[in-house]
């Protein structure tokens, strides 16, 4: 991973778009998709400019290639995955597992939990998170499950 720069905005917005579950409809006949991408670009720029408190946006790299997006929010009482998306064509290679394992190690090393949200429409991602030790803790806006991994006791 590396910290994102302005040169990554289009790739990161595309990763957010392609990582949506289900992804918005695309093409000029779908003006909502154009508006969605425009909003994703603006929000990505705000992230890179540091306008989101305690938030860092990264480019996920594999074999020297940009393969995804990660946003992490680090506060004094927890770390939170604000978003992780691996681009199609790079999924299923263990990249997401490696990134999340690194984040778990970091959070647990600071004796903090790691939180994330997962779309109810994305059972594959939820299975990955559960395999890594995340458990449901609630729901958000009716369409996402909140999940948390706690550091092992006895540190």
- Structure token digits, residue 72: 């992490």
| Percentage of the residues of the chain whose pLDDT score is greater than 90 | 66
Pick 153 or 47 by higher pLDDT.
47
Chain segment 124-146, per-residue pLDDT in tens? 899 999 999 999 999 988 789 99
User: Could you identify the residue written with the tokens 């929010």?
Assistant: 73
Assigned domain for 77 exists: yes
Assigned domain for 155 exists: no
Cα-based distances in Å from 101 to 21, 48, 105, 145: 23, 24, 6, 20
The residues, any chain, with a CB within 8 Å of residue 88's CB and separated by 6 or more, are 18
Assigned domain for 20 exists: yes
Q: Closest by alpha carbon to 127, among 147, 112, 143?
A: 147
Q: What is the mean pLDDT of the chain?
A: 89
Chain segment 70-109, per-residue pLDDT in tens? 999 999 999 999 999 999 889 889 999 999 999 999 999 9
CATH of residue 118:
3.40.630.30
The pLDDT assigned to 27 comes to 56
Assigned domain for 14 exists: yes
CB atoms within 10 A of CB 115: 18
Residue 44 and residue 51: Cα distance in Å, rounded?
10
Assigned domain for 58 exists: yes
Angle at 102 between CA 105 and CA 73, to 5 degrees: 85
The pLDDT assigned to 22 comes to 56
Chain segment 3-45, per-residue pLDDT in tens? 999 999 999 998 888 876 555 555 556 556 777 788 888 989 9
Find the domain containing 144 and state its range: 2-149
Give the total number of structural domains in the chain: 1
Assigned domain for 31 exists: yes
Assigned domain for 104 exists: yes
The reply to whether omega before 91 is within 30° of 0 (cis) is: no
Assigned domain for 57 exists: yes
């Amino acid at each position: 991973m590396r910290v994102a720069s302005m040169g990554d905005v289009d790739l990161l917005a595309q990763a957010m778009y392609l990582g949506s579950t289900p992804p918005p409809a695309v093409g000029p006949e779908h003006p909502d998709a154009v508006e969605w991408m425009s909003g994703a670009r603006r929000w990505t720029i705000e992230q890179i400019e540091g306008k989101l408190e305690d938030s860092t946006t990264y480019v996920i790299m594999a074999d020297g290639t940009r393969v995804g997006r990660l946003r992490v929010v680090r506060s004094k009482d927890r770390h939170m995955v604000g978003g992780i998306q691996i681009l199609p064509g790079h999924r299923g290679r263990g990249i997401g597992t490696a990134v999340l394992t690194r984040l778990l190690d970091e959070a647990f090393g600071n004796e903090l939990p790691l939180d994330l949200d997962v779309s109810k429409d994305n059972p594959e991602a939820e299975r990955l998170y559960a395999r890594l030790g995340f458990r449901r803790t609630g729901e958000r806006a009716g369409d996402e499950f909140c999940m948390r991994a706690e550091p092992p006791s006895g540190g």
